[in-house]
């Protein structure tokens, strides 16, 4: 009897200990600024006659560094070095309070960025649900501008999507992906700085095993001040828009492929980065946007230079070049300079400016979410504040 009581007491003590190691937290960021830009367009379609230059714009703009977000996360230590966790996160416009868009056109979602449950342990970590695609983290790690919303590898990559026909009405890109729904992602532990991330997202299309599927792999290295990454992304039925009232059906066609190689080296306060990316539509490399078939054979070259003058103050710059391999007249180069000053661990002031030379049908943006005129040189500047809680 004494043994039973002792065993029950031990079990209760273990349960209480496990419960004490569970946690749930609310968190978020508000990022707001004032944007000036000398050209504008109604949307991101690269068709100048149907998408004319609307002229100068001055506006309140959310997301000068990254989007404003609100979320919750929790974890439970289940022993043996294993942890179960969840995360729910959605973006919102700090100017209007509206939720961000999902991967369904013109449809907002509360947790449009992350809605995952996962497990971590000695094997690494495994996440299931809607989440940032692994290539997103590769962008951040290999760009001096940290793949920010103003003039970075992110806005250069978005240019390829815009040229392919992405209208900005959803998060479902046509080349690569910033987010993937229904995704299963494994991240390995780091071995001497080397790690891998593997992703598979089933499409769930009846009668078509490859319909809407996504696969990707990222090889990463991080050590001795060097971050390097190689990305392979492949998707079926990337159809982010409805053209002329017709939505492209999910038939398993392989029409979304993106490869990327990038590196950033930091020595003391100095950072240097460079990368190359290629996006294409394997099913129809020439494309026919007028018929609703996205083109896709674009090269992206980037370079960056930054210096941290103090723990609180950093200046970064970048050059981002995008070229349409099928139509040589379509080329774009942006030049960006930015400065961040940390008032505290939670609050950052920023000022940034840029100039982009767009030729042919190019419409490389200077800030995420604000279209520029097709084929027009554009200048923009933004000042703002970012606060996390």
- The Cα–Cα gap between 177 and 190 comes to 24
**pLDDT of amino acid 289:** 53
Grade residue 253 by pLDDT with cuts at 50, 70 and 90: confident
N-term to C-term CA, the chain: 52
- The Cα–Cα gap between 34 and 64 comes to 9
- Residues 6 or more apart whose CB falls under 8 angstroms from that of 9 comprise none
**pLDDT of amino acid 287:** 60
297 close to 285: Cβ distance less than 8 angstroms: yes
CATH number of 27-388: 2.40.160.10
pLDDT tens per residue across span 132-179: 999 999 999 999 999 999 999 999 999 999 998 888 888 988 899 999
CA dihedral for 223, 228, 230, 231, sign (positive or negative):
positive
What are the extents of the domains in the chain? 27-388
**pLDDT of amino acid 11:** 39
Predicted confidence (pLDDT) at residue 105 exceeds the cutoff of 90 = no
| Number of C-beta neighbours around residue 222 at 10 A | 15
pLDDT tens per residue across span 167-219: 888 898 889 999 999 999 999 999 999 999 999 999 998 888 999 999 999 99
Q: What is the full DSSP assignment across 343-361? A: SSSSEEEEEEEEEEEEETT
Q: What is the pTM of this model?
A: 0.91
305: number of CA atoms within 13 Å, CB side?
2
Packing angle of the helix pair 153-164, 134-141 (nearest 10 deg)? 130
| Number of C-beta neighbours around residue 8 at 10 A | 10
**pLDDT of amino acid 284:** 77
- Residues 6 or more apart whose CB falls under 8 angstroms from that of 290 comprise none
């Amino acid at each position: 009897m004494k043994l039973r009581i002792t065993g029950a007491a031990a079990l209760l003590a273990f349960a209480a200990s496990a419960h004490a190691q569970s946690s749930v937290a609310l968190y978020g960021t508000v990022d707001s600024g004032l944007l000036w830009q000398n050209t504008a367009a109604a949307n991101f379609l690269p068709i100048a006659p149907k998408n004319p230059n609307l002229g100068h714009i001055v506006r309140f703009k959310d997301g000068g560094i990254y989007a404003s977000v609100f979320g919750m996360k929790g974890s439970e230590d289940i022993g043996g070095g294993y942890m179960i966790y969840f995360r729910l996160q959605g973006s919102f416009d700090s100017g209007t309070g509206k939720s961000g868009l999902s991967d369904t056109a013109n449809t907002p979602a509360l947790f449009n960025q992350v809605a995952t449950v996962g497990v971590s342990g000695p094997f690494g970590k495994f996440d299931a649900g809607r989440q940032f695609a692994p290539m997103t983290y590769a962008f951040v790690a290999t760009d001096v501008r940290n793949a920010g919303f103003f003039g970075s590898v992110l806005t250069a990559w978005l240019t390829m999507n815009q040229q392919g026909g992405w209208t900005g009405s959803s998060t479902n890109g046509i080349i690569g992906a910033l987010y993937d729904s229904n995704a299963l992602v494994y991240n390995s532990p780091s071995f001497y700085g080397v790690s891998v991330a593997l992703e598979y997202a089933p499409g769930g299309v009846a009668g078509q095993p490859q319909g809407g599927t996504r696969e990707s792999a990222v090889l990463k290295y991080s050590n001795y001040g060097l971050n390097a990454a190689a990305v392979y992304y492949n998707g079926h039925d990337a159809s982010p828009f409805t053209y002329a009232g017709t939505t492209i059906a999910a038939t398993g066609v392989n029409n979304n492929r993106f490869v990327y190689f990038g590196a950033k080296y930091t020595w003391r306060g100095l950072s240097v980065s460079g990368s190359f990316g290629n996006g294409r539509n394997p099913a129809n490399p020439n494309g026919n946007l007028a018929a609703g078939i996205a083109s896709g054979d674009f090269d992206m070259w980037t370079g960056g230079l930054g210096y941290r003058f103090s723990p609180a103050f950093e200046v970064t710059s970048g050059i981002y070049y995008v070229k349409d391999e099928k139509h040589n007249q379509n080329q774009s180069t942006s030049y960006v300079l930015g400065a961040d000053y940390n008032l505290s661990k939670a609050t950052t002031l920023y000022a940034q400016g840029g100039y982009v030379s767009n030729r042919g049908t190019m419409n490389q943006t200077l800030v995420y979410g604000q279209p520029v005129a097709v084929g027009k040189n554009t200048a923009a500047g933004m000042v703002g504040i970012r606060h996390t809680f």
